C-alpha cells in the first residue's frame, strides 16, 4: 500500500491534476448517458475545480509572502532544498488545491437535495466559499502575532538551532496555523449556512389550501 502511494506522489502534480479533471469529465459523461440527459454532476464539477484553484492561488500567495519573512520555515520546516519563489509558490499551490477540493466537496455535499430542502446551486455555493478563503486570510496575521509572542516558550534546543531566526520562524508558523484554522472555521460556517438556506418551509399541520 505504501509503495503504491509513493508511486502516486512521484507523478508530477500537473499530471495528477489533469487526471482528476479527466476523471470528473468521465463520470459526468457516464451519468449523462445513464440518466438520459437528467444529469446534474457536470454542473457541480466547475465549482469544485474553481474552489480548488482559488485555494491553490491563495496558498501560493500566503507562501510567497511568508517566505520573505522566514526562509528557514520552508527549508527546515517544509523540507524544500531552497526557498526560491517558484518552489514556494508550487508548494503553496499544491497544498491549497487539495484543501480547496476538500472544502468544495463539503459544500457540494451540504447542498445535496434531500427531502425537505432545495438545492441552492453552484453560484450560491461560490458565495459561501468566501467564508473559508476570507477567514483564512483574516486569521493569518492573528496567528502570526501569537506565534511571535509564544516563540520564547518553544523548546530551548529548537530556539538554539535557529538562533536569531527563531522569532521569524515562529511568526510564519503561527501565520500558517491561522490560515488553517480560518479555513476550517470558514468551512464549517459555509456548510451550516448552505444547510439552513436550503430548508423548505414546513407545512402547518391542519392548514387548508384554498
pLDDT in tens, 137-180: 999 999 999 998 888 777 787 778 788 888 899 999 999 999 99
Identify the burial level of 109 via C-beta atoms within 10 angstroms of its C-beta, where 0-12 means exposed, 13-18 middle and 19 or more buried.
exposed
Q: Is residue 84 in some structural domain? A: yes
Q: Which secondary-structure segment (H or E) carries 72?
A: helix 71-72
DSSP class per residue in 37-57: T---HHHHHHHHHHHHHHHHH
* pLDDT single digits (tens) 33-90: 655 555 455 567 788 889 999 999 999 999 999 999 999 889 888 888 887 888 899 8
Q: Is residue 132 in some structural domain? A: yes
Q: Is residue 104 in some structural domain? A: yes
Phi then psi for residue 44, to 5 deg, are -85, -30
Q: Is residue 203 in some structural domain? A: no
Query: For residue 162, which of 95, 73, 97 has the smallest C-alpha distance?
Result: 73
Q: Is residue 3 in some structural domain? A: no
Q: Is residue 46 in some structural domain? A: yes
Range of the domain at 49: 11-197
Q: Is residue 6 in some structural domain? A: no
Highest mean pLDDT range out of 25-29, 114-118, 152-156?
152-156
Rounded distance, CA 97 to CA 54, Å?
8
Q: Is residue 188 in some structural domain? A: yes
Helices 41-67 and 13-34, packing angle to 10 deg: 160
Query: For the chain, how many structural domains are there in total?
Result: 1
Amino acid at each position: 500500500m505504501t509503495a503504491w502511494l509513493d508511486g502516486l506522489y512521484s507523478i508530477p502534480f500537473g499530471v495528477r491534476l489533469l487526471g482528476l479533471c479527466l476523471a470528473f469529465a468521465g463520470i459526468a459523461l457516464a451519468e449523462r448517458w445513464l440518466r438520459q440527459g437528467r444529469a446534474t454532476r457536470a454542473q457541480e464539477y466547475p465549482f469544485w475545480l474553481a474552489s480548488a484553484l482559488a485555494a491553490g492561488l491563495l496558498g501560493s500567495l500566503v507562501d510567497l509572502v511568508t517566505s520573505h519573512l522566514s526562509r528557514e520555515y520552508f527549508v527546515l520546516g517544509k523540507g524544500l532544498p531552497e526557498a526560491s519563489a517558484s518552489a514556494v509558490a508550487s508548494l503553496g499551490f499544491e497544498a491549497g488545491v487539495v484543501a480547496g477540493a476538500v472544502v468544495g466537496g463539503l459544500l457540494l455535499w451540504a447542498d445535496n437535495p434531500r427531502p425537505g430542502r432545495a438545492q441552492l446551486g453552484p453560484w450560491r455555493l461560490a458565495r459561501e466559499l468566501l467564508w473559508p478563503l476570507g477567514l483564512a486570510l483574516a486569521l493569518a496575521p492573528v496567528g502570526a502575532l501569537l506565534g511571535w509572542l509564544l516563540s520564547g516558550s518553544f523548546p530551548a534546543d529548537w530556539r538554539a538551532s535557529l538562533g536569531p531566526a527563531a522569532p521569524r520562524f515562529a511568526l510564519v508558523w503561527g501565520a500558517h496555523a491561522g490560515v488553517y484554522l480560518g479555513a476550517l472555521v470558514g468551512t464549517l460556517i459555509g456548510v451550516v449556512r448552505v444547510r439552513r438556506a436550503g430548508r423548505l418551509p414546513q407545512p402547518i399541520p391542519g392548514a387548508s389550501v384554498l
